[in-house]
A and B are shown apart, each in its own frame.
Chain A
Amino acid sequence: MSKSSNYLMPIFIFTAIVLTMPFWFPFLGGYEGLDTKILIWAIFALGFDLLLGYTGYLSFGHAAFFGISAYVTGLMLLHFSSNIIPAMIASVIVTLIIAFLIGLLTLKRSGIYFSILTLAFAEMFHSAALSMFQDWTGGDNGLTGIPTPMLFGLKMQEMTVYYFVAIIAIALFYLAIRISRSPFGIMLRAIKSNQHRLEFTGVNVFKYKVFAFVISAFYATIAGSLMVIYEPYVASEFLDWSTSGHLVIMSVLGGVGTLFGPMIGAAFMLYFENVLSVPLGEQWLLVLGIIFMLIVIFLPGGFVDGARKLKRKLTAKENS
């Protein structure tokens, strides 16, 4: 595979889809602004894929980064300035420090232990937000009364916020592709396939894992921050395990380790939750859970892998 030619195509496709989305998305149904929400979750899932798909670590605690970042952004907008730039910078700094510390503690263990520990840490922050820091976070009611976020003189509303999110999403997608195809990305894949062997060759595996964890938390941070900019309100559910759970579901549905897959999964899940849930009613999550189980059992590579297999079958038929 030649490297440089493979670079541009995915970015071009992604840019084209993202920039034209506001024009064709309304025809698919769904409320105004759902496309923005899909993009935000796509960013979240993209970072998650760098950890799960490339490094092979299944975190059940990414809600922590998403939620903490949302709270910091909300508090900054509320108490400091309605300008989003200082709010985003503060949320990145705070969340990445926390992510670094959690990474140091949890990445010592792998597999199941890692999943359980990250889940425990996230639940700790969730509990803390509802009890210890209740005065700051608004407890169960969430953080309300946030003023309309501003980018200097520009009000962050409707299409402005969409294109703001879109530009960040394109930049972060480019970054993710660069990371995945860099020597660093190859290291991560080596960790996934056999980290002990890598260790024996003299590589400091732990350092790479912490770095991957923090990068993935960075994507979660940006997503959490953008969520508050998109809708000036912080729900305590952002920190709930179900946020991590939804992230895991969408990533696996789309297909981990493909970068595109988890974003497709995010779009599918939000579309499912908001549009297809109308005919399905309250049972939408049940149907989604069944689809999720079927994918895990029969198609562990997700939608992307399914499409690949289908394509291979079709071309094989043509040739014969």
Chain B
Amino acid sequence: MSGQLINQIFLQVMTGLQLGAIYVLIALGLTLIFGTLGVVNFAHGALFMLGAYFAVNIASAMGFGWAIFLVPLILFAFGIAMERGLMRFFYDRPHTDQILVTFGLAIVIQETLKWIFGANNIPFATPSWGSGIVRMHEYLPFLEGFVAYPKWRLILIGVSFVTVFGIFALLQFTRFGLIIRAGMRDPDMMRFLGVNISRRFTIVFGLGALIAGIAGVFGGPVTQVDPEIGMGLLVPSFLVVVIGGMGSIPGAVLAGFLLGMTLSFSAEYAAIQNIIIYLVAVVVLLVRPRGLFGQKGLME
């Protein structure tokens, strides 16, 4: 293989990882909330957008470091408030009602942001420590000649991986995670055992929103910060969750990067690039109706 080809494939893999990173971050929160509370959150794209708007304003007023620290916390609080103030009244109602109320909330958030900040894209500059490019060929010997990649996108990929492993570790290796996993299997049994599973599920909802906040801070400079971006990202993120299998975290991660790669490698064929993610979704769901890692009996 010629060096040019290797370089090109490498760059497309990086782009795929970077696109996938945002999908994974948003889908991770969606699937976490779905897997625990059974709620399909149509407002999750709006939560991402809320995170991006908070980030751009906090970053310009107080500096980017504060945005990284504060935005996930604000979104965590927002998630808790949303679950306690709204969603918990919907657990006993049909699933379509949950979709409708979160859809309504998405519109309210979107229109409020449009009202306050206007309909135009707000420029979101990366901080000085994250700007510029990284000369990849200096670190990776198999690349030939000069290969550079934007530093911020590498950071985004890194943050995505760290978040995924953080959530994985939290669920797999802590007592909190053990209770959550047991609660996902059988919440009633946990209640009989005297565990306050509802309170822990509330925290999980907050965590889902927190991840959307992380996605907003680190993804905002890459995507855009305008009032349409929430819904624009929600549809592909839903596809990621559905392809991966609803409620499955490994599924969401795998499907997110799969979709990113598909988008990246089809970029040369602009005509089909826009519809290829839908075609992938259709094929996966025809072959495996529950998605890649879907569990039997969940939301059948």
Residues in A lying within 8 Å of B, measured CB to CB = 52, 56, 58, 105, 108-113, 115-117, 119-121, 123-124, 127-128, 130-132, 241, 245, 248-249, 252, 282-283, 285-286, 288-290, 292-293, 296-297, 300
Contacts and interface: CB of A to CB of B under 8 A. Distances in A.
A120 B238 contact: yes
Contacts of B271: 131-132
B259 to A, nearest CB: 12
Contacts of A248: 100, 103
A121 B289 contact: no
Given A111-B299, A286-B112, A290-B108, A123 B101 contact: no
A285 B95 contact: no
A234 B71 CA distance: 41
Contact of B104 (A56, A105, A292): A292
A109 B291 CA distance: 12
B111 A56 contact: no
A286 B114 CA distance: 9
13 contacts: A112-B40, A112-B99, A119-B235, A127-B278, A128-B274, A131-B270, A132-B275, A241-B231, A245-B107, A289-B104, A292-B100, A292-B107, A293-B105
Nearest to B95: A111
A117 B285 contact: yes
Nearest to A115: B99
A58 B99 contact: yes
Nearest to B98: A112
Interface string B260-274: 000000000011111
Closest 7 CB pairs of A and B: A286-B111, A289-B107, A124-B278, A127-B274, A293-B104, A289-B108, A58-B96
Contacts of A115: 40, 96, 99
Contacts of A131: 270-271, 273-275
Interface of B: 40, 86, 89, 93, 95-97, 99-101, 103-105, 107-108, 111-112, 114-115, 231, 235, 238-239, 242, 246, 270-275, 278-279, 281-282, 285-286, 289, 299-300
Contact of A293 (B96, B108, B115): B108
- Interface on chain A toward B: helix, strand, loop, or mixed SS? helix
A123 B278 contact: yes
Contacts of A123: 235, 278
B208 to A, nearest CB: 16
A282 B114 CA distance: 9
Contacts of A283: 111, 115
A186 to B, nearest CB: 20
Given A241-B231, A286-B115, A113 B107 contact: no
- Interface on chain B toward A: helix, strand, loop, or mixed SS? helix
Contacts of A132: 271-272, 274-275
B295 to A, nearest CB: 14
Given A112-B99, A117-B285, A285-B107, 19 more contacts: A52-B96, A56-B96, A111-B96, A112-B246, A113-B299, A115-B96, A119-B235, A124-B279, A131-B271, A131-B274, A132-B271, A285-B111, A286-B108, A288-B107, A289-B104, A289-B111, A290-B108, A292-B107, A297-B86
A121 B278 contact: yes
A143 to B, nearest CB: 19
A252 B285 CA distance: 29
Contacts of A300: 93, 97
Nearest to A294: B104
A245 B103 contact: yes
A174 B137 CA distance: 71
A55 B133 CA distance: 55
B103 A120 contact: no
A305 to B, nearest CB: 14
Contacts of B96: 52, 56, 58, 111, 115
Nearest to B100: A296
B262 to A, nearest CB: 14
Contacts of B242: 113, 116-117, 120
Most chain A beta carbons < 10 A, residue from B86, B101, B235, B281: B235
A126 to B, nearest CB: 9
Nearest to A291: B104
Contact of A297 (B101, B299, B300): B101
A299 to B, nearest CB: 12
A236 to B, nearest CB: 13
A58 B282 CA distance: 19
A52 B97 CA distance: 12
A82 to B, nearest CB: 31
A128 B275 contact: yes
B111 to A, nearest CB: 4
A109 B290 CA distance: 9
B289 A108 contact: yes
Most chain B beta carbons < 10 A, residue from A58, A131, A289: A289
Contacts of B273: 131
Contacts of B107: 245, 285-286, 288-289, 292
Contact of B95 (A52, A112, A121, A124): A112
Contacts of A286: 107-108, 111-112, 114-115
B103 A130 contact: no
Contacts of B104: 249, 289, 292-293, 296
A297 B289 contact: no
Contact of A119 (B97, B114, B238, B300): B238
Contacts of B97: 296, 300
B247 to A, nearest CB: 11
Most chain B beta carbons < 10 A, residue from A56, A127, A248: A127
